[in-house]
C-alpha cells in the first residue's frame, strides 16, 4: 500500500493526501478522521443538491448574434459553425446555440446593449461598435500600426499583461461578460474607386473607416461616412462611398467588391484587428461551472481556428480580386512611417480621459517595446 493514493470520491470528499498534507501512508486514526470529515462534507453537498441538479440538468438554448456571418466571409461562416458544434459536443448536449447571421437579431450598433438586455445571449462582435458605451472599446479593437502580427503575441498581451481583466471589468457594469478576444484578419487594406498613391490623395473622398484610422484619413482631407460592413458594396455602387476600410481579402472577395472598385490599397494598417465574443453576464453566472468553462473554452478555440483559416481564405481572396480586375496599389514606406507616428501620438494623446484607456496605453506601450525586443533579432531571410 505504501506510495498509493486514496483519491476523492464522487461526492467530493478530500483525498488522504489532501486531508493530511502528506504523500506518505497514513495511520488508522488519520484515515478515520478523514472519512468522518468526508461524510460530513457529503451531507452538506446533499443539502445544496436540488439547486445544483436543476442547473446541471437544464438544457441551455442560446441565441448567438454573429455580426459577420451570412455576408460572404468564408472564415467567419466556418468559425461560427464550428463553435456551435463544439459547444454542443463539449456540453454533452446541455447547451444548444443557434447562430443568427448579421443584422438578424440585432444591428451591429445594437449588439452590446442587446446582449446585456438578453435579446441575444451571445455575440461575435467588435468593441469598436460600443465605444460610445465603453470608450476603451475603440483601443481594444485596434490602434493602427500597433504590431499585432501573430496570435501568440497578442495572447501574451491578453493573458499575462492585464488586458483580459481590464476587458472583463469594463463590461461587467453593463451585464455583459467578455468571454475572449478573437484575432480577426487584416483590417485597413482598403478598396477604392480612385487610385491612391499617398494619403493626401484621400482628400475629398468619402471613406468608411473607424477610430484613429478615420481620424488620420480625415486629417488628410477625407470625409468619413459610417455604414455597416455588409452594406459597403451598395454604398460604393450608389456613390455614398468612394473608398472603404472594412475587411480582409476574403471579405472583399466574398462581397464581390471587384465589381464596384478597381483598386485595392495595401498594406493593411492592422495586420490583425481584435474582435470578441461576449455573453449575457447573468446567463453565464447562472450556468454551473463546467458549462461556464465550456463557453469560454469553445470561444477560445474559435479564436485560434479563425486566425488559422484566414491564411488560406485571404490568399484565395486576393486571387479572386485580381482575377476580377482589381489592381493592388502599395503605399510607400515613408507614407506608412508618417501615418504610424501620427496614429501612435493620437493614441497616447487621449491619456487622462478614462482609467481603462490609461491602462491600455500603459500596456500597449510596454508591449510595443516587447515586440521590438523579441522579434527584431529573430527575423529570418525570405
DSSP string of 152-194? HHHHHHHHHSSHHHHHHHHHGGGTEEEEEEEE---B--EEESS
Distance CA 142, CA 128 (A): 8
pLDDT tens digits for range 274-296:
999 999 999 999 999 999 999 99
CB neighbours of residue 379 within 10 Å? 7
pLDDT score for 71: 87
Res 70: pLDDT: 93
Show the low-confidence residues of the chain (pLDDT under 70): 1-56, 378-382
Question: What pLDDT shows up at residue 13?
Answer: 38
165 vs 140: CA distance, rounded Å: 12
Residue 379: per-residue pLDDT: 66
Do the first three CATH levels of 58-185+273-311 and 190-271+313-378 match, i.e. the same topology?
yes
Indicate the average pLDDT of the chain. 87
Contact (Cβ atoms closer than 8 angstroms) between residue 241 and residue 227: yes
Query: How many other β-carbons are positioned within 10 Å of the β-carbon of residue 26?
Result: 17
Contact 166, 359 (CB under 8 A): yes
- pLDDT, residue 10, reads 38
User: What burial class does residue 138 get, using C-beta atoms within 10 Å of its C-beta: 0-12 exposed, 13-18 middle, 19+ buried?
Assistant: buried
At residue 228, the pLDDT reads 83
Domain range list for the chain = 1-47, 58-185+273-311, 190-271+313-378
Instruction: Please give the CATH superfamily to which domain 58-185+273-311 belongs.
Output: Bacterial extracellular solute-binding protein, family 7 (3.40.190.170)
**Short-list 189, 326, 183, CA closest to 251:** 189
What integer pLDDT is reported at residue 184 of this predicted model? 87
Q: Note the residue count of the chain.
A: 382
Whether the full predicted model's pTM is greater than 0.75, yes or no, is: yes
Digit-coded pLDDT (tens) for 204-244: 999 999 999 999 999 999 999 998 888 999 999 999 999 99
**CATH number of the structural domain 190-271+313-378:** 3.40.190.170
User: Own/partner pairs for 43-50, CB < 8 Å, 24+ apart?
Assistant: 45/11, 45/12
Residue 24's pLDDT is 40
Q: How much is the pLDDT for 331? A: 95
Amino acid at each position: 500500500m505504501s506510495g498509493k493514493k486514496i483519491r476523492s470520491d464522487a461526492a467530493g470528499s478530500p483525498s488522504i493526501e489532501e486531508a493530511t498534507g502528506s504523500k506518505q501512508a497514513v495511520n488508522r486514526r488519520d484515515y478515520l478522521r478523514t472519512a468522518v470529515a468526508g461524510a460530513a462534507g457529503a451531507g452538506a453537498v446533499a443539502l445544496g443538491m436540488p439547486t445544483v441538479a436543476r442547473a446541471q440538468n437544464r438544457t441551455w438554448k442560446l441565441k448567438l448574434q454573429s455580426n459577420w456571418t451570412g455576408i460572404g466571409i468564408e472564415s467567419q461562416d466556418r468559425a461560427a459553425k464550428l463553435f456551435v458544434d463544439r459547444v454542443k459536443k463539449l456540453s454533452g448536449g446541455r447547451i444548444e446555440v443557434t447562430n443568427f447571421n448579421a443584422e438578424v437579431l440585432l444591428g451591429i450598433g445594437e449588439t452590446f446593449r442587446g446582449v446585456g438586455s438578453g435579446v441575444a445571449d451571445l455575440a461575435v462582435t467588435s468593441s469598436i461598435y460600443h465605444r460610445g458605451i465603453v470608450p476603451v472599446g475603440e483601443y481594444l479593437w485596434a490602434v493602427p500600426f500597433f504590431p499585432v502580427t501573430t496570435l501568440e503575441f497578442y495572447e501574451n498581451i491578453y493573458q499575462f499583461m492585464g488586458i483580459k481583466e481590464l476587458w472583463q471589468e469594463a463590461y461587467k457594469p453593463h451585464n455583459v461578460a467578455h468571454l475572449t478576444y478573437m484575432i480577426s484578419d487584416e483590417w485597413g487594406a482598403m478598396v477604392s474607386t480612385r487610385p491612391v498613391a499617398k494619403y493626401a490623395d484621400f482628400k475629398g473622398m468619402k471613406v468608411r473607416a473607424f477610430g484613429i484610422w478615420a481620424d488620420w484619413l480625415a486629417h488628410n482631407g477625407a470625409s468619413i461616412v459610417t455604414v455597416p460592413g455588409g452594406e459597403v458594396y451598395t454604398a460604393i455602387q450608389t456613390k455614398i462611398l468612394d473608398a472603404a476600410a472594412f475587411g480582409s481579402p476574403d471579405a472583399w472577395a466574398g462581397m464581390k467588391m471587384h465589381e464596384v472598385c478597381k483598386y485595392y490599397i495595401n498594406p493593411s494598417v492592422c495586420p490583425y484587428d481584435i474582435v470578441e465574443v461576449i455573453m449575457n453576464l447573468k446567463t453565464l453566472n447562472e450556468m454551473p461551472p463546467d458549462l461556464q468553462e465550456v463557453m469560454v473554452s469553445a470561444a477560445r478555440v474559435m479564436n485560434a481556428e479563425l486566425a488559422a483559416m484566414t491564411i488560406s481564405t485571404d490568399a484565395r481572396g486576393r486571387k479572386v480580386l485580381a482575377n476580377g480586375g482589381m489592381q493592388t496599389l502599395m503605399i510607400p514606406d515613408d507614407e506608412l512611417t508618417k501615418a504610424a507616428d501620427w496614429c501612435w501620438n493620437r493614441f497616447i494623446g487621449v491619456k487622462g480621459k478614462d482609467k481603462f484607456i490609461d491602462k491600455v496605453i500603459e500596456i500597449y506601450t510596454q508591449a510595443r517595446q516587447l515586440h521590438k525586443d523579441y522579434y527584431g533579432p529573430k527575423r529570418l531571410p525570405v
